[in-house]
Structure 1
């Protein structure tokens, strides 16, 4: 059987002391709860959490956009084989080749360079064509060859010789401005071949002479003109 512990009754001497403690407790006024401060702190914490979440979302959004921009810059080839910048404008290409290396530049048209000049061959020609760079070697300039290329439009090409190494080629045509590609030999001889394929309003018979080129300009890496049509060659 569980026994209940009995506590002694308070003595008569302790009763006045209890009354004193009770009166002191009633006189104590508890401080007011700082509800306004608590609400302000809560709002600040919510704002900080919202800002962090928004910043994270922005960062996640910016990363894919940066990747897209990077992919456009690194892989700018269009469906027709031309190279464009992220803005959509054509970009020139300079390719260094070895002497005698045959490069198919467009639909059966091949170009190769030797120490004395440039050579062309195409299905429309009976034999390779040759353009020497030995004559007038000290004079910068650009030559122009232009012919039809069937459904592909116009094929434009020529030899350039400049004061400095080529970095890009621009061609003004009746169909607008296009970028050319340059072939040059190793060692920076300051000369080479430029070429470009230009769309035509309708097919032009392969090898048929045309007159669509208005100006060819070869620029160096600093943006200066190193050769252009209308001089030398």
Structure 2
């Protein structure tokens, strides 16, 4: 039996060797295909272009959105009803405050805040104001005949406003448009007042100023704070001037 096994082993080894030779020859007969380098490069370039287009498209979209918002805002601000779209910071408080040393055109009845407790306004028939020293509104007319509007003139009213403060105001009238008003005080100071006027050039308006004068406040007798009030036009000419009575 052992001799039979030894006789089979060489034939099995020979068969295995023959199969290896057949597979080797078959492998030599197979020619590998060329690597498609050009196709791979084209596919890579296509993918890169797609990514670039997507990034550029996103950037353009981000730019278009703000531009569209700006265009919408401009269209709304210039279109019908735009006055209702002003920002909260642009809306005037009522009553409004006028900067010192300026000329301001106001509408009839528009309240202007001189101080927290003093307000002044104009109507077509004259000057109105309210203050702690005078309950209710005060009035100075330009139509009752007490003012001679045929020539230039300046009126002066004076009220204590607490502490050393005084509220000075009055109606001016004359030819030309007011550009500023100066108040020469009894203490030697020059104060720039504020001018209020109505639209349409009525040739009259109202001036006012807040003046501090400790000496007058400590005096036992009524003292006129304003020595002179002068209204000037834009060229420096005098529209109206007066000297208050001591």
TM-score range, shorter chain: 0.5 to 0.7
Per the alignment, residue 111 of structure 2 pairs with 102
The DSSP-based 3-state class of the residue aligned with 1:171 is strand
Select which of 128, 140, 164 maps to 2:137: 128
List aligned pairs for 1:5-154, cutoff 5 A: 92-134=101-143, 135=145, 136-151=148-163, 153-154=165-166
Question: In structure 2, what is the Cα distance between the partners aligned to 1:98 and 1:131?
Answer: 17
The number of equivalent residue pairs is 142
Equivalent pair of 1:153/1:203 in contact (CA under 8 Å): no
CA RMSD, 1 decimal: 2.7
TM-score (norm 1): 0.55
Structure 1 residues 138 and 82: CA distance shift in structure 2, 3 A: closer
Larger helix proportion of the pair: 2
Larger radius of gyration: 2
Offset of 1:140 from its aligned partner? Answer: 1.4
User: Which residue pairs with 1:199 in the alignment?
Assistant: 212
Give the unaligned 5+ runs of structure 2.
1-96
Flag as ranges the 4+ runs of structure 1 deviating above 4 A.
202-205
Asked which structure has the greater RCO (Cα within 8 Å, sep 6+), the reply is 1
1:139 to partner: Cα distance: 2.1
- Pick the aligned partner of 1:155 from 145, 162, 167: 167
1:115 and 1:157 map into 2 onto residues whose CA distance is: 17
Q: Which stretches in structure 1 are left out of the alignment for 5+ residues?
A: 1-80, 84-90
Give the equivalent residue in structure 2 for 1:182: 195
User: How big is the shift at 1:217?
Assistant: 0.3
